[in-house]
Amino acid sequence: MTRTYQIRTYGCQMNVHDSERLAGLLEDAGYAAAADGADPDVVVFNTCAVRENADNKLYGNLSHLSPIKTANPDMQIAVGGCLAQKDRGEIVKRAPYVDVVFGTHNIGSLPVLLERARHNAQAEVEILEALETFPSSLPARRDSAHSGWVSISVGCNNTCTFCIVPSLRGKEKDRRPGDVLAEVQALVDEGVLEVTLLGQNVNSYGAEFGDRQAFSKLLRACGGIDGLERVRFTSPHPKDFTDDVIEAMAETPNVCPQLHMPLQSGSDSVLKAMRRSYRSERYLGIIQKVRAAMPDASITTDIIVGFPGETEQDFQGTLDVVREARFSTAFTFQYSKRPGTPAATMDGQLSKAVVQERYMRLIALQEEVSWAENRKIEGRTVEVLVAEGEGRKDSATRRLSGRARDGRLVHFTPGDQVIRPGDLITTEITYGAPHHLVAEGPVLSHRRTRAGDHWEAGIRPKTSGVGLGLPGFGAPAPLPAVAANACGVR
């Protein structure tokens, strides 16, 4: 009988995309996704190591599977991702019923490791120290019919003192532009309307092969792909953000007016301690330029509260930047000590009570700003790409949800129209709430799309892997004709 699998994903968009690769690998090896509510034959944990409670969350979830594994010894449990890269053999020591442990650099090994563990009746732990195969050369089973992740790089060359990612993901490795564009084209051919270009630091893309304007050229090249309606990217680093990227965003119609750019702190002294090689003035200067080129751009950020040594004055600096930057949303985090990072041993570790109190003040301010910024959208007509699932349930009127071009979440009323995930509608915003927009009036226009057709038919894009120029990532796929002169790297 066909063995079934379930993947449980934690962490960032890169992990979500890696899970799509894992699903593609397993299905190519003959597995099938487990039905909702059914017990799978294989459970894969794709882990994150960024937050302090990541370890507790993993081992807690593993312990819940222990009695199930005891009752069904043929079930297999695999642990991959950043926490697996960090903890390695410790996972099997703490949870001896785990069958496979694999790292961030060898997700392609999962099917072989599962088979080997079954054959040898013992745990298989394989952690590579460096990337051998770019993940995007592996097959992928995409979750969405209308949007897709596309990695342009993996790893990170920065040395932020709070972050463990570089030691787990390795140094930055860039894909050749032709390989990236070939994958984007393959997704569009499958009906995908929107792609998000992924990297730990997308705007340093190209440094490895000697073109520091490669990212802006890549954005422009995406603008020449017929059928690609929306392009997003995450995350850029302020230190590498250049004017050519802003110009490409503003001048390429399908690049969305949205920017997620981590701030982390508004205090220059804290930024220095974090080894974030920019200061608040530089950060705010980038935002000013973005808004000058795209007045309606939605700007979001990440902020850490309670970094070691942060004073009340430092925290006030963060609040000042939040007031001036007018973020539409901020993803806020309380600093958590991660073993192996320089910040973990710094003097001036703050008490939980102090961090919590500052965190609540930051959230209150950002809620106020977000609400005011969303109220500005009231009365405007927006285009919404409809998402999977129903919208808000706290209304007697049926609602659906989707994303505006600037990334804001929109709840709208479809009326009697049959509107599918992947379809595009326009509607007028009647109310701006702190975390979403509401359109209570009629749908003004509705465009049925091939992505909507695919959702209706239960079809999801499945790509077989693009750009197999390995080892060394040095043999790129040819550039599509629409972008032959756009990137300058073959």
Gap between the Cα atoms of 440 and 443, Å rounded: 9
- CA dist list (Å): 15 to 222, 436, 442: 23, 25, 38
Parallel, antiparallel or unpaired: strands 140-141 and 462-463: antiparallel
Tell which CATH architecture fits domain 381-463: Beta Barrel (2.40)
- CA dist list (Å): 335 to 47, 154, 264, 273, 338: 19, 24, 10, 13, 9
Bridge partners of 154?
173
Q: Where are the domains of the chain?
A: 4-126, 135-375, 381-463
| Residue 483's pLDDT band (cuts 50, 70, 90) | very low
Gap between the Cα atoms of 236 and 258, Å rounded: 12
Residue type, 447: R
Which secondary structure element, helix H or strand E, spans residue 383, and what is its range?
A: strand 381-390
Residue type, 64: H
**Mean pLDDT, to the nearest integer, of 387-413?**
86
Gap between the Cα atoms of 178 and 146, Å rounded: 22
Cβ neighbours around 474 below 10 Å, total? 9
Both tokens of 147, joined, read: 């949007």
**Mean pLDDT, to the nearest integer, of 76-100?**
95
Burial bucket for residue 379 (CB in 10 Å: 0-12, 13-18, 19+): exposed
Fold type of domain 4-126: Rossmann fold (3.40.50)
Gap between the Cα atoms of 176 and 205, Å rounded: 10
Q: Are 122 and 149 in contact (CB under 8 A)?
A: no
Gap between the Cα atoms of 349 and 335, Å rounded: 10
Q: Are 404 and 439 in contact (CB under 8 A)?
A: no
Whose tokens are 């570790």? That residue is 349
Q: Are 447 and 457 in contact (CB under 8 A)?
A: no
Whose tokens are 């097959």? That residue is 139
Which 3 state secondary structure label does DSSP give 161?
coil
Q: For residue range 211-229, what is the model confidence (pLDDT) as tens digits?
A: 999 999 999 999 999 999 9
Q: Are 412 and 425 in contact (CB under 8 A)?
A: yes
CA trace torsion 155, 128, 137, 114 (10° rounding):
-130
Gap between the Cα atoms of 358 and 362, Å rounded: 6
Higher pLDDT among residues 143 and 159, named by residue = 159
**Mean pLDDT, to the nearest integer, of 20-31?**
96
Q: Are 75 and 68 in contact (CB under 8 A)?
A: yes
Q: Which CATH superfamily is 135-375 part of?
A: tm_1862 like domain (3.80.30.20)
Which secondary structure element, helix H or strand E, spans residue 230, and what is its range?
A: strand 230-234
Both tokens of 386, joined, read: 């409809």
Residue 456 scores a pLDDT above 80: yes
**Mean pLDDT, to the nearest integer, of 159-185?**
92
| Least confident stretch, 127-141, 382-396, 430-444, 457-471 | 457-471
Q: What is the pLDDT of residue 431?
A: 97
Q: What is the pLDDT of residue 136?
A: 82
Q: Closest Cα to residue 467, out of 452, 456, 478?
A: 478
Q: What is the pLDDT of residue 460?
A: 85
Please state, for a pLDDT cut of 90, what percent of the chain lies above it: 81
Whether the CA torsion 446, 450, 451, 452 is positive or negative: it is positive
